[in-house]
Structures are given as structure tokens and as C-alpha cells.
Amino acid sequence: MKNLFFKGRFIFIPIAVVAFLSLISFAVMQLWNNLLPAILHVSVITFWQAMGIFILCKILFGFGKGGRGWGGRGGAPWMRHKMEERFKNMTPEEKEKFKQKMRERGGCGPWGRNDGHPSNRDWDTFEKETAKPTE
């Protein structure tokens, strides 16, 4: 039974990839042909051109990981961990200097230009979060 599963998987996966690529290419073609000629006055494209555009976009802009990307809370997990370690090891004077520098810089987050937004945390919350043990 296990052998049958592995043989079936090697047949199923390429078929699923081809079906997915075909479906996406068809969607790109339909969207392009129904929207862009009227908006930007470009010519219509074929199925194969749509597939090429999709693949080119994936090569240029990346394949993505789903969920949160660079703009997500904290960015890359390894970067957030590195910053938490740095912040944890700072003296209170260094922390205050860092906060002031970030405020002047206009960065995002609890010290940035969107301070009034309810989704932003304040520094006290940030410091408590960094003090939590990681699992």
C-alpha cells in the first residue's frame, strides 16, 4: 500500500502543478484581456503569453511564503529575535537614546509616524514583550 502511495504521489504532483499553473495563467489572461485594453489601451494576450507574464512576475517579485511578509509584525523572525536580544541587553540610557533616535527618524512601530493609530504598541508594551521567554 505504501509503495502505491509513493508512485501515485509522483504522478499526482506534476499533474497538480500543471493544473494550477494553467488555472492561474487562464485567470491572468482573462483579467488582462478584460481590464487592461480598455484602461491602458494595450493589446490582448494569449494563454501562453499570460503564463509567461505570470512566471516572469514570480521570478522578479518572488514566490512568497504566504501569511505575513516583510511588512508583517516584526518582519523576518530572525531579525525580530536579533533586535529583541539587542534591546534586552541595553542599559536604560541606551534604550532611551535608541527610542529618541527612532522617533526622530520617523520609523514605523511604537516610535514611528503612526503613533496615534490603535494598532501601534507603546514602548512599555514593547519592553514587556521582549522580556517574555521565547518558546
| Extents of the domains making up the chain | 2-60, 80-131
Helix (H, G, I), strand (E, B) or coil at 104: helix
The conformational region for residue 73 under phi > 0 = left, psi -120 to 50 = alpha, else beta, is beta
**pTM of the predicted model as reported, rounded to 2 decimal places:** 0.46
Name the stretches of the chain with pLDDT < 70.
Answer: 1-7, 65-76, 107-135
| Under 8 Å between Cβ of 49 and 25 | no
What pLDDT is attached to residue 110? 54
pLDDT for the residue numbered 109 = 54
Q: Cell digits for 78?
A: 530572525
CA proximity to 110, closest of 95, 91, 92, 90: 95
CA distance 87 to 124: 13
pLDDT confidence of residue 129:
55
The residues, ordered by sequence, that sit 6+ positions from 26 with a Cβ below 8 Å of its Cβ are: 47, 50
d(CA 108, CA 126): 13
Question: Within its chain, how far is the Cα of 70 from the centroid?
Answer: 5
